[in-house]
Amino acid sequence: MGSAGKEGEVKEKTKEISVAGGGDGVDGMGTPGEGLGRCSHALIRGVPESLASGEGAGAGLPALDLAKAQREHGVLGGKLRQRLGLQLLELPPEESLPLGPLLGDTAVIQGDTALITRPWSPARRPEVDGVRKALQDLGLRIAEMGDENATLDGTDVLFTGREFFVGLSKWTNHRGAEIVADTFRDFAVSTVPVSSPCHLRSLCGMGGPRTVVAGSSDAAQKAVRAMAVLTDHPYASLTLPDDAAADCLFLRPGLPGVPPFLLHRGGGDLPNSQEALQKLSDVTLVPVSCSELEKAGAGLSSLCLVLSTRPHS
């Protein structure tokens, strides 16, 4: 674990800092992180038929109901476009890329820069090509990972508006975290060990500019404690009954007079966490379902990439 220097080196840091709040998760604690949640566009990729079989989706994954998965994906796209007012771009499904809808793993975007990742699974690396072209067409500056020793999945990267946390997991290694630090040199980058077979974003997310939300599992709580030690910024914390509910998206489309949105898996998917999320203030909760897509390893942060092409004020 550590905080990155200007040259992309992830350095050791041992200063003990507590996460503020103790579980009430209240926003509005000062000036928010300027970069968190700014968005004008969302990018998604259609669900191919090859995702429906366990063999097509990857070893160890259960077969799923293709029609239900496609409906969930369609509802997500509709809410991004109609409820949040984003420009929605949808890449077509590709049968050779069964996990292509999980395009959140293929890039890390902040400001006008998109770091194209190098997924741990060689079978998934072709997924980055269509995403790279789409982001180039939107005018983003593209950064590449040229080191063959590096692995990085985008859903192991949590941006708080002030800093990056990179989960060291099955999918992401220390060299991958160093490249994140080298790409986004204006921000501290700290590594967080992930003690379960999950991505970091499967355990925790941002419920607001100063609020970290996390699941109640041991792995999720260990990740939050590690982040607390590494950060120089005070964050409130909100613990949710379900780890999957912590994989939420705080989004600020910049619509006049409209508060930020929190896209989350509440409602029918995770009703207990829906109730807990009501403690967040100054956000409009927008529940979506991805219970069928979850069988292929999908969470909200993996099913879309959000970005802003507008100048930052």
For residue 130, the surrounding DSSP H or E stretch is helix 127-137
Which residue among 198, 204, 290, 304 is the active-site one? 304
The rounded distance, in Å, linking the Cα atoms of 78 and 301 is: 16
Query: How many CB atoms are located within 10 Å of the residue 82 CB?
Result: 10
C-beta of residue 307 within 8 angstroms of C-beta of residue 109: yes
Which residue among 39, 41, 73, 199 is the active-site one? 199
**Quick check: is 199 catalytic?**
yes
Of 189, 157, 168, 204, nearest to 2 by C-alpha is 189
The string of DSSP letters for 232-295 reads SS--EEEE-S-GGGG--EEEB---TT---EEEES-TTT-HHHHHHHTT--S-EEEE---TTGGG
Q: Give me the residue label for tokens 């509709």.
A: 78
**Quick check: is 312 catalytic?**
no
User: SS3 for 226?
Assistant: helix
Q: Where are the beta strands (DSSP E) in the chain?
A: 2-4, 10-12, 41-45, 87-91, 107-110, 113-116, 141-143, 157-159, 163-168, 188-193, 204-208, 211-214, 236-239, 249-251, 261-264, 284-287, 305-307
Residue type, 30: G
- The residues annotated as belonging to the active site are 199, 304
